[in-house]
């Protein structure tokens, strides 16, 4: 409750600047933004309700019309979520650039609430609320609400952190839409499944799906070049080609497929990951410069590489793997460095048999290590 009141208070003391900045940010996002400032947020609720209704319908019966409607609605939702995430981020950038105060202590918040309780809202705040459609009765109710909860605020509040987290939360909403899109595909193609004879396939010699190798290489090249615009185009193409493979293959349990030449355990997962990557790339395309988005994109591309792996037919197990993509931006270090890694590649052979990490000394909170290759 205190966090809600803090948000309301800070938003009001900023003269609803966050709302105004969001409106301005949508315009500056460029022609690729499909929605006006008002419709972006109203569209959010419209899509959410439509998605929920279609999910219920498809859960009750598999109907190709409903499947297609759910896929289309999910894609609209992905775009809408990416759009709003970019808007919120641009709002935060504009607020920081304006120099307005974004961090308030609990004491400052209580004093603001007490002042509103005694004197009502400043004229500019009242005017802004009325321009947004608030009635006098609603404005008075808001004043009473703040007065009633003035003593509930016991912690600081930072509007910058709030908006940053809110922007990331909208990305997660986009991921949810991507999940429902993948679920619609699953309902459409995996109604009846057939388990392959796994003795025919070599799971010790996995390779990138040969039907998608060119797509992967194109995406990988754009990834290495930090070319987000090209990555966007390539991820859209990859989604389409994955769907084509899914349509033409035999469907096995757990979202896997198989053909005469390979078994693909991660088919449905790969489809889902391309749509999640789409959300991130769309948000970047619309102006979201948050480093957290690039961190998330790293993870999705790495996951996609794994999901694209197939078990080839044993007599066809001589395929080669492309180089794993180089991370974009910061990537967390994961320990330990064992087990050994061996990666076959079209570009040559990279083989790391072992890495020893020895802590030489620890003193005054710092440590020295030695990395050894045999």
**Contact between residue 267 and residue 305 where contact means Cβ atoms under 8 Å apart:** no
| DSSP states along 54-110 | HHHHHHH---HHHHHHHHHHHHHHHHHHHHHHHHHHHHHHHHHHHT---EE-HHHHH
Asked which of 32-36, 219-223, 246-250 is least confident by mean pLDDT, the reply is 32-36
Give whichever of 3-7, 114-118, 309-313, 342-346 has the largest mean pLDDT. 309-313
H or E stretch at 27: helix 17-28
Do 24 and 94 meet the contact criterion of CB atoms below 8 Å apart? yes
Q: How many residues does this entry show for the chain?
A: 374
Does the structure show a pLDDT above 90 at 362?
no
Domain coordinates in residue numbering, the chain: 1-189, 193-321, 333-374
- The span from the first CA to the last CA of the chain, in angstroms, equals 59
pLDDT band at 325 (very low <50, low <70, confident <90, very high): low
Element (H, E) at 229: helix 228-248
Top pLDDT among 246 and 104 is at 246
Positive or negative: CA dihedral 43, 48, 53, 58: positive
- In three-state secondary structure terms, 350 is strand
Measured distance CA(342)–CA(331) in Å, rounded: 21
Rg (CA), the chain: 26
Query: Could you tell me which residues come within 8 angstroms of residue 162 by beta carbon, excluding any fewer than 6 positions away?
Result: 7
Shortest CA distance to 142 belongs to which of 121, 124, 159, 157?
A: 121
Alpha-carbon span 243 to 250, nearest angstrom: 13
The burial of 241, by beta-carbon neighbours within 10 Å (0-12 exposed, 13-18 middle, 19 or more buried), is given as: middle
Question: pTM of the full predicted structure?
Answer: 0.76
Convert the pLDDT of each residue in 262-317 to its tens digit: 999 999 999 999 999 999 999 999 999 999 999 999 999 999 999 999 999 987 54
- Parallel/antiparallel/unpaired status of strands 207-208 and 103-104: unpaired
pLDDT tens-digit series, residues 138-167: 888 888 888 887 777 778 888 888 889 999
């Amino acid at each position: 409750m205190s966090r809600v009141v803090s948000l309301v208070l800070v938003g009001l003391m900023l003269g609803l600047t966050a709302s105004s900045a969001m409106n301005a940010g949508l315009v500056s996002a460029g022609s690729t933004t499909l929605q006006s400032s008002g419709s972006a947020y109203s569209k959010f609720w419209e899509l959410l309700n439509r998605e929920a209704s279609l999910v219920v319908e498809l859960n009750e019966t598999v109907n190709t019309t409903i499947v297609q409607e759910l896929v289309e609605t999910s894609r609209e939702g992905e775009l809408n979520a990416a759009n709003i995430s970019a808007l919120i981020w641009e709002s935060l950038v504009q607020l920081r650039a304006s120099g307005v105060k974004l961090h308030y202590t609990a004491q400052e918040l209580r004093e603001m609430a007490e002042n509103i309780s005694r004197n009502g809202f400043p004229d500019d705040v009242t005017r802004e609320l009325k321009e947004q459609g608030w009635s006098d009765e609603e404005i008075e109710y808001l004043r009473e609400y703040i007065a009633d909860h003035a003593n509930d605020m016991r912690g600081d509040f930072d509007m910058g952190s709030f908006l940053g987290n809110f922007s990331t939360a909208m990305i997660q909403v986009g991921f949810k839409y991507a999940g429902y899109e993948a679920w619609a595909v699953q309902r459409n193609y995996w109604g009846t499944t057939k388990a392959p004879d796994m003795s025919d396939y070599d799971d010790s010699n996995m390779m990138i799906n040969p039907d998608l190798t060119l797509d992967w290489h194109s995406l990988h090249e754009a990834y290495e070049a930090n070319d987000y615009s090209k990555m966007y185009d390539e991820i859209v193409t990859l989604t389409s080609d994955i769907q084509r493979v899914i349509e033409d293959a035999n469907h096995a349990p757990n979202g896997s497929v198989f053909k005469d030449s390979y078994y693909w355990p991660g088919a449905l997962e790969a489809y889902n990951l391309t749509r999640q990557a789409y959300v991130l790339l769309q948000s970047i395309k619309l102006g979201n410069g948050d480093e957290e988005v690039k961190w998330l994109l790293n993870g999705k591309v790495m996951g996609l590489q794994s999901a694209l792996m197939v078990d080839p037919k044993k007599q066809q197990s001589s395929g080669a793997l492309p180089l794993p993509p180089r991370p974009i931006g910061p990537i967390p270090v994961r320990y330990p460095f064992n087990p050994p890694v061996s990666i076959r590649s079209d570009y040559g052979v990279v083989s790391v048999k072992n890495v020893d990490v020895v802590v030489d000394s620890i003193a005054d909170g710092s440590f020295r290590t030695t990395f050894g290759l045999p």
